[in-house]
Amino acid sequence: MPLNSPEIALGSLFAIGVALAIAQIVYRSFGFYKKTIDREIVSSRYHAIDGLRGFLAIGVVLHHIHINHHFYLTGGWELTPSRLSTLLGRGSVAMFFMITAFLFWGRVIDSKTRFEAIRFYQNRVLRLVPMYFMSAALVVVTAMALTHFRLNVPLVDLATQIGAWLLFTFPGVPPINGFAQTPLINTVFWSLIYEWKFYLVLPLIGALAIRWGIWLVALGVCACIALFSPTQVEWYFVAGCGAAMAVRVPIVPRLCQSVVAAALVPACMAAVMYWQPLVYTPAGAALLFVPFLIIAGGNTLFGLLTNKAARLLGLLSYSIYLLHNWVLYLASRLVNHYVPVASLQHTTYVGFGACVVGITVLLATLTYRFVEFPAIRPASAPATKR
């Protein structure tokens, strides 16, 4: 039977607790991470967003754990009937898009001179490409291993298939070496395409805003999304840009940091779950704009978003995001080899999901330290995040 919402809620809380506990142990046990987090705490940054990233990454992991259970029950990798599960995944991805737009549109706003597009793209490549290449390589190697490293397609076709995965899946997600389930090994790369599209148009939109005015450009962007976007996820980039402008109005951060504002965060998320269950809609973006603005404005939700474990998960969020589906796919195949996943009791599957979360977080501590961090800064320099 599929997991129901109460089971998903309790299982999600348990898995989040596991992730936070592991993050706390890592913080206390490893000097690199302790120094990195302590440096963040005393730096000038949007501190609540640091922790938010961590919870969003775990939300996506949980979403895919629920879809994975549904997949073994029905054979289809698709949204589950649970609105909570959909919010955990789509809502988290939507807020990741808002964070991207918030931070980088904020840089455009704060630029005293021309926006340095070349330096911006250099930083984005260094930040995103190394870890992406590693996660894409895991997909390729896994597909090849599951086809016993025997060439099942012409060599030119194999090279083309691998190239598509290395190019952030812009050309698509073809099966590698004839392995039909290749797209299931990692299902999150699609969102990076939207990130790169935003990065590509950001300097142009910034230049047009300076020349024609922000509101005229915003009107044109909104019209293009409404008329031509098949997914409507771009509204979340617009919402993030709007939040970047709003927090620069002095009264807004003061209002955002109140207890009443903190209470609005879960209320708006519940409203999205019940009134906009598919999330990727203009109304969904408007509803999620409110809690995002409150958090971006400095509300830490009573310290939940700024505790050291949450900050560490935020630091690891990109690795968690790119690794978890690979861990989930292989772990599920392994379990299913001995016991059908579809036959697992709900409590057993919750435990399985918590193990996937824990393994992913532990692997992310390695990939951040040895893949992401060296590309961001030389080893002797302070660590910064995207």
pLDDT (0 to 100) of residue 112:
62
Dist. CA 344–CA 352, nearest whole Å: 10
pLDDT (0 to 100) of residue 20:
98
Q: How many residues in total does the chain contain?
A: 386
- With a cut of 80, say whether residue 4 has pLDDT above it: no
Cβ of 266: how many Cβ atoms within 10 Å? 11
* Coil, strand or helix at 278: coil
Domain range for 89? 5-376
- Residue 382 in domain: no
Considering its fold, how many domains does the chain have in total? 1
pLDDT (0 to 100) of residue 386:
41
pLDDT (0 to 100) of residue 384:
40
pLDDT (0 to 100) of residue 1:
67
pLDDT (0 to 100) of residue 113:
61
Q: What is the pTM of this model?
A: 0.95
φ, ψ for residue 17, nearest 5 deg: -60, -40
pLDDT (0 to 100) of residue 192:
97
Smallest CA-to-CA distance from 179 within 143, 210, 220 is with: 143
Residue pair 284/276 in contact (Cβ under 8 Å)? The answer is yes
- With a cut of 80, say whether residue 125 has pLDDT above it: yes
Dist. CA 309–CA 288, nearest whole Å: 24
pLDDT (0 to 100) of residue 351:
96
- Residue 386 in domain: no
Q: pLDDT tens-digit profile of 354-378?
A: 999 999 999 999 999 999 999 987 4
pLDDT (0 to 100) of residue 379:
39
- With a cut of 90, say whether residue 253 has pLDDT above it: yes
Six token digits for residue 139: 């997909």
* Coil, strand or helix at 176: strand
- Residue 112 in domain: yes
* Coil, strand or helix at 146: helix
pLDDT (0 to 100) of residue 383:
35
User: For residue 383, what is the DSSP state?
Assistant: P
- With a cut of 50, say whether residue 289 has pLDDT above it: yes
**Percentage, residues of the chain above pLDDT 90:** 88
Q: Residue 326 contacts by C-beta under 8 Å, 6 or more apart in sequence? A: 135, 138, 139, 142, 185, 186
Dist. CA 328–CA 231, nearest whole Å: 26
Dist. CA 375–CA 318, nearest whole Å: 14
Q: Residue 260 contacts by C-beta under 8 Å, 6 or more apart in sequence? A: none
pLDDT (0 to 100) of residue 194:
97
Residue pair 47/304 in contact (Cβ under 8 Å)? The answer is no
Q: Give residue 104's pLDDT band: very low, low, confident or very high (50, 70, 90).
A: very high
- Residue 383 in domain: no
pLDDT (0 to 100) of residue 12:
95
Q: pLDDT tens-digit profile of 49-98?
A: 999 999 999 999 999 999 999 999 999 999 999 999 999 999 999 999 99
- Residue 53 in domain: yes
Class of residue 2 by CB neighbours under 10 A (exposed 0-12, middle 13-18, buried 19+): middle
Q: Average pLDDT for residues 197-214, to the nearest whole number?
A: 90
Q: Tokens 């936070």 sit at which residue? A: 20
- Residue 29 in domain: yes
pLDDT (0 to 100) of residue 84:
96
Give the mean pLDDT of the chain: 94
Q: Give residue 260's pLDDT band: very low, low, confident or very high (50, 70, 90).
A: very high
Q: Interior CA angle at 364 toward 308 and 167, to 5°?
A: 130
Q: pLDDT tens-digit profile of 136-166?
A: 999 999 999 999 999 999 999 999 999 999 9
- With a cut of 60, say whether residue 264 has pLDDT above it: yes
Residue pair 237/101 in contact (Cβ under 8 Å)? The answer is yes
- Residue 381 in domain: no
- Residue 175 in domain: yes
Q: Tokens 């039909």 sit at which residue? A: 180
